[in-house]
Amino acid sequence: MTPVTTLTATPSQVPAASDTLPALCIVGVRKTYRLGRVRVPVLHGVDLSVSEGEFVAILGASGSGKSTLLHLAGGLDRPDKGRGEASRIEFRGVDLNTMSRGQLDRYRARDAGFVFQFYHLLPELTVLQNVVIAAMVRRGFGYAPYAAACRDAARKLLEDVGLSHRLNHRPVELSGGERQRVAIARALINEPSLLLADEPTGNLDRATGESILTMLLEIRARRKLTMLVVTHDQHTAARADRIVRLADGRVVPG
């Protein structure tokens, strides 16, 4: 793999898109968890590069390490330090391991959007509030001046995903496909450049999953998103620009 120059992240932002750097570069990534006294190795030196605007599907069976890899790419967890050259996960040339907690928070809030298999919507909030809350988290104490604009953006996103008639409904009143559409709108409210999706169609029937995937690809084209999607479904993976297969924590030949 071509070496990637590691830059120093500034407190305010991650560098903009580059014509030379990949959007995401994963080098030698290892991850081991502990269950009591037992060490459970999950990833064994994964290398992966994702270009700006590319849709890469990580295909593998349950337990292959797909979700762990996605969580590491999103800064939700850190890879093992390793021996010799440390594991590296770089977004536009910036190693997530060099980021402070505040910088990682900004990366997750601004640059990376997350879509999970089980939605993770807040049951006491309406559909509109579930989308707006991600913008509130990004803005923090400075949210108030942007409140009206964020609500307008959330309404527009929910219209784009076909839920303009569900703004004041709560998650319990929605179908699985509708909940996933809300989760996608929430992931996009902060206009990330990288979308990370963990089995986005895995909890849905085939027809609903197909419609969700088609919608995601349409949004990706409009917004020029880079997408990393983990799945065990060959049909979902087949619609990606490229498939990377993972087995027992390693990238294997296709």
Residues paired with 214 in a beta bridge: none
pLDDT at 1 (0 to 100)? 39
Distance between CA 123 and CA 240 in Å, rounded?
32
pLDDT at 87 (0 to 100)? 79
Give the mean model confidence (pLDDT) for residues 124-151. Answer: 92
For the chain, the domains span 52-76+100-252
pLDDT at 20 (0 to 100)? 75
Give the pLDDT band (50/70/90) at residue 2.
very low
Q: Of 228, 239, 244, 237, whose CA–CA distance to 111 is shortest?
A: 228
- Give 82 or 234, the one with higher predicted confidence: 234
Question: Each residue of 175-191: pLDDT tens digit?
Answer: 999 999 999 999 999 99
- Give all strands of the β-sheet with 88-91 in edge-to-edge order: 38-50, 24-35, 88-91, 94-95
Regarding pTM above 0.85, the answer is yes
Beta strands, E only, 24-111: 24-35, 38-50, 55-59, 88-91, 94-95
Distance between CA 48 and CA 46 in Å, rounded?
7
Question: Each residue of 43-62: pLDDT tens digit?
Answer: 999 999 999 999 999 999 98
Distance between CA 183 and CA 175 in Å, rounded?
12
Q: Of 81, 94, 69, 77, whose CA–CA distance to 15 is shortest?
A: 94
Count Cβ atoms within 10 A of the Cβ of residue 47 and give its class: 0-12 exposed, 13-18 middle, 19 or more buried: middle
pLDDT at 19 (0 to 100)? 62
pLDDT at 254 over 80: no
In this structure, what are the phi and psi dihedrals at residue 88, rounded to the nearest 5 degrees? -130, 140
Give the pLDDT band (50/70/90) at residue 14.
low
User: What stretches of 60-175 show up as alpha helix (H) in DSSP?
Assistant: 66-73, 101-106, 127-139, 147-160
Give the mean model confidence (pLDDT) for residues 24-32. Answer: 95
DSSP 170: -
Average pLDDT, the chain: 89
38-50 and 24-35: which strand pairing?
antiparallel
| Architecture of the CATH domain 52-76+100-252 | 3-Layer(aba) Sandwich (3.40)
Give the pLDDT band (50/70/90) at residue 84.
low
